[in-house]
Amino acid sequence: MSDIVLNEVSKSYGGVSVLDKVSMHIQSGEFIVFLGPSGCGKSTLLRMIAGLEQVNEGEIFIGDQRVDQLPPNERGVAMVFQNYALYPHMSVRDNMSFGLQNVGTPKAEIARRVDDAARMLEIGHLLDRKPAQLSGGQRQRVAIGRAIVRDPKAFLLDEPLSNLDAGLRVRTRLELAQLHNRIKATMIFVTHDQIEAMTLATRIVVMNNRRIEQIGTPMEIYSRPATRFVAGFVGSPQMNFIPVTAVTDAGGRAAVSFAGQSPVHTGVSFAQLPGSNLTLGIRAESAQISRDGQGIEGVAEVVERLGERTLVYTSLGENITLVAEDEGISGVQPGDRVHIAIDGNAAMIFDEAGKAYHAAG
């Protein structure tokens, strides 16, 4: 396997810029997920690595070889598409072996690779079927198997689970994670689904508006987002964003006020904050319904019971709603006045440009 390096890669169609000077270093064996909203450039970036889109500026290296000027078949990567792209008139075995036949691989070697991949993916009993005789999950396994037999330097997966129903998505996601653990291959996976990103990735590349917002492990992205965009895009429910009306120095840490509530003491250094137009960010699990009458106060508007936890959408006045968390069996009802204890050390503050400021450590 080989590292993949992108140096200031840009792409445009006519006068429309799609990617702007994107750089990253993917280590051999990593499971990298490109995450972002539709239109952010993540699929285009994957297709540029594969050679299916031309690079307008910048360089792409796989191992020690520069590949951005090479055709797709010389880059040593295998692509798995959203729509499976199987030949309907061929059997599963023929679909998996077709690419190897085209490059003159010996028949015995083709048979060995196909059998090994089929055993790994548990589709050996399907090898003589046609794609029309398979379920969506089985077709996706065949598409992955077709990539595995090529023994590529990297697997490139473009939203491969999006055509599956909810149950199959969960099961196939688990199978992909297990597959990566077994073969230790470099995988780059494109999705707009944050759950797929959080559960699969070694590192997540969060993309927005033609650029990379942040690269980090799933928990770095979740707990210490670099920008307000990342904080809002990753996490369900979305992070609470509350306009700050005043900020004071409380022993070197920032104490923030909002919506006429008592100040919330954060772990963010007061000295590093700009002076105005600040926003408090707090996740629901760090805003717990309090039973002792302590904390900020509001009125429950919507109570969402999810089994293991309850989400309470609470009006704080001034058109501000805060989503707080309560235990699974919660007695809170819409219209109840509630108190919310906020974990200030888990809070973060965003400036006007969207930059995040976190608690020290």
Query: For the chain, which residues make up each domain, given as ranges?
Result: 4-227, 240-357
The backbone region for 250, taken as left when phi is positive above 0, alpha when psi lies in -120 to 50, beta otherwise, is beta
pLDDT tens per residue, range 86-121: 889 999 999 999 988 888 889 999 999 999 888 888
Instruction: Give residue-wise pLDDT tens across range 64-81.
Output: 899 999 999 889 898 888
C-beta separation of 32 from 205 below 8 A: yes
Nearest Cα to 160, choosing from 198, 202, 192?
Answer: 192
What does the pLDDT read at residue 148?
86
Residue 286's pLDDT is: 96
- Domain spanning 240-357: which superfamily? Nucleic acid-binding proteins (2.40.50.140)
- Going from the C-alpha of 21 to that of each of 12, 36, 117, the distances in angstroms are 11, 17, 37
Helix or strand or coil: residue 299?
strand
Q: Whole-model pTM above 0.75?
A: yes
pLDDT of amino acid 288: 96
All residue ranges of the chain with pLDDT < 50 are none
Residue 1 confidence (pLDDT)? 56
Among residues 184, 224, 195, 194, the alpha carbon closest in space to that of 31 is found at 184
7: nearest Cα among 54, 39, 55: 55
Residues 6+ apart with CB under 8 A from 331: none
Euclidean distance between CA atoms 257 and 119, whole angstroms: 60
Q: What CATH number was assigned to the domain covering residues 4-227?
A: 3.40.50.300
Q: Token pair of 297, please?
A: 């106060």
**CB-facing half-sphere around the CA of 107: CA atoms within 13 A:** 0
d(CA 356, CA 134): 47
